[in-house]
Structure 1
Amino acid sequence: MKRYEQLDKLIADHGGIVQTSQVIAEGISKPVFYDYVKAKKMEQVAHGVYASADTWTDSLYLIHIRSKQAIFSHETALFLHDLTVREPAPYSITVKTGYNPTRLKDDGIQVYTVKPELHQVGCTSAQTPFGHMVPVYDMERTICDLIRSRKGIEIQTFQDAIKQYVGRKDKNLRTLMQYASLFRVEKILRQYLEVLL
């Protein structure tokens, strides 16, 4: 029974979601864990990821658990930074070039790729609506990403995001211009900012 109590605590500590690897790291064997999963009617929500029956599924957190390299970007980053009122569908992530995103794409996730040296630029973290912390690009990087991918993004979403950003007290225009230069979108960004500032 001690193992089950240990599992109860582990799952409670992780907000109702646990990975098989976390269970093994606690010294609990797979057969014991799978018996527990059956007994507690836990649901397998992703490969090697289980959620307790009473847990609301936090899709953003699940994507993060499945792909540690993924950073939330584009419309999903806008949502996490309160720069849009619309919940993103599909969710957008950015991974390094060379990463195989087939499984994520099969699950309907929009996957962008970027050179490895640009992958961590502007990476921070934000809280999902369910209270989990996930990696996300900061507002400035997100604005630059939207400009870079503007052909695939609704113009209304893009314009609203820039207006919202300009009105924010926590904006950092210096960082925005540094990123714009790094991602080669300075000229286009200046045109938008001239209209709004």
Structure 2
Amino acid sequence: MDDKELIHQILQSNNGIIEARQASEAGINNKTLQRLHQSGDLERIEHGIYIDPNYIEDIYYITQLRCKQGIFSHETALYFHELTNRTPFQLQLTIPSGYNTRLIKDKERFRFFYIKKDLFEIGKINMVSPFGNPIRIYDKERTICDVLKKKDQLDADLVSSAIKQYIKEPGNDFSKLLTYAELFKIKDIVRQYLEVII
């Protein structure tokens, strides 16, 4: 099997995406990727990330390839947890304080929230994007805490209706929500919302 066929195989098994790292691990020379990019057989999304132009770009997966530390949060996480039906026009991610990503410059497409490293991983789970790729996101309870903590910077109606929906849904973990609320120092705010809505 030649390099081009091998690349095609990787693209097929990876929803149309190939990283230079994957190519290298498969013994493919980086110049082959560059040649395929120049000929139009591959599109370069970012340094070391290529996509088959015949595939629909999975913005969620590619965002996390480009921002390795980012975890989808706030309004984007509400959307994935079906606590809002509003498709995010701006992807919101949380990153550890001090972490830098080139995506920060693109303020129209991305919005970043910073948090101390010791709180960063709390509530992190894996989900699947609409295109079938793995993505990192915060669980429902962490998301509720996040949107309440930043409610003044977010869409107030969206936050309010998402919390109402969360509370009405069966099977949500209120004790986990209160544990998180204590860690994020918003226990009083969360209790207030729970009392008003319940």
Match of 1:179 in 2: 180
Please report how far the alpha carbon of residue 39 of structure 1 lies from its aligned counterpart in structure 2 after TM superposition: 4.2
- Verify the 8 A CA contact 1:80 1:127 in the aligned structure 2: no
SS of aligned partner of 1:35: helix
- Verify the 8 A CA contact 2:16 2:55 in the aligned structure 1: yes
Match of 1:157 in 2: 158
Match of 2:51 in 1: 51
Match of 2:141 in 1: 140
Separation in structure 2 between the aligned mates of residue 46 and residue 107 of structure 1, nearest angstrom: 14
AA of the residue aligned to 1:129:
P
**Structure 2: tracts of 5 or more residues without a match:** none
Separation in structure 2 between the aligned mates of residue 175 and residue 51 of structure 1, nearest angstrom: 39
AA of the residue aligned to 1:85:
N
Does 1:195 pair with 2:180? no
**Structure 1: tracts of 5 or more residues without a match:** none
Please report how far the alpha carbon of residue 47 of structure 1 lies from its aligned counterpart in structure 2 after TM superposition: 2.5
Please report how far the alpha carbon of residue 170 of structure 1 lies from its aligned counterpart in structure 2 after TM superposition: 3.2
Please report how far the alpha carbon of residue 40 of structure 1 lies from its aligned counterpart in structure 2 after TM superposition: 5.5
- Verify the 8 A CA contact 1:40 1:52 in the aligned structure 2: no
AA of the residue aligned to 1:95:
I
Please report how far the alpha carbon of residue 41 of structure 1 lies from its aligned counterpart in structure 2 after TM superposition: 2.2
Please report how far the alpha carbon of residue 36 of structure 1 lies from its aligned counterpart in structure 2 after TM superposition: 2.9
Separation in structure 2 between the aligned mates of residue 186 and residue 14 of structure 1, nearest angstrom: 42
More deviation, 24-33/34-43 = 34-43
1:63-142, aligned counterparts within 5 Å? 63-101=63-101, 103-108=102-107, 109-142=110-143
Please report how far the alpha carbon of residue 58 of structure 1 lies from its aligned counterpart in structure 2 after TM superposition: 1.0
SS of aligned partner of 2:136: strand
Separation in structure 1 between the aligned mates of residue 47 and residue 72 of structure 2, nearest angstrom: 20
Please report how far the alpha carbon of residue 127 of structure 1 lies from its aligned counterpart in structure 2 after TM superposition: 1.8
TM-score (norm 2): 0.94
SS of aligned partner of 2:166: helix
Structural RMSD (CA): 1.3
Separation in structure 2 between the aligned mates of residue 39 and residue 20 of structure 1, nearest angstrom: 17
Separation in structure 2 between the aligned mates of residue 38 and residue 167 of structure 1, nearest angstrom: 53
Please report how far the alpha carbon of residue 75 of structure 1 lies from its aligned counterpart in structure 2 after TM superposition: 0.3
Separation in structure 2 between the aligned mates of residue 8 and residue 83 of structure 1, nearest angstrom: 38
1:156-181 per-residue CA deviation (whole Å, 9 max, x = no partner) reads 01011101111222310010000000
More deviation, 43-52/75-84 = 43-52
Separation in structure 1 between the aligned mates of residue 80 and residue 183 of structure 2, nearest angstrom: 23
Identity %, equivalent residues: 34
Separation in structure 2 between the aligned mates of residue 34 and residue 161 of structure 1, nearest angstrom: 45
SS of aligned partner of 1:79: helix
SS of aligned partner of 1:56: coil
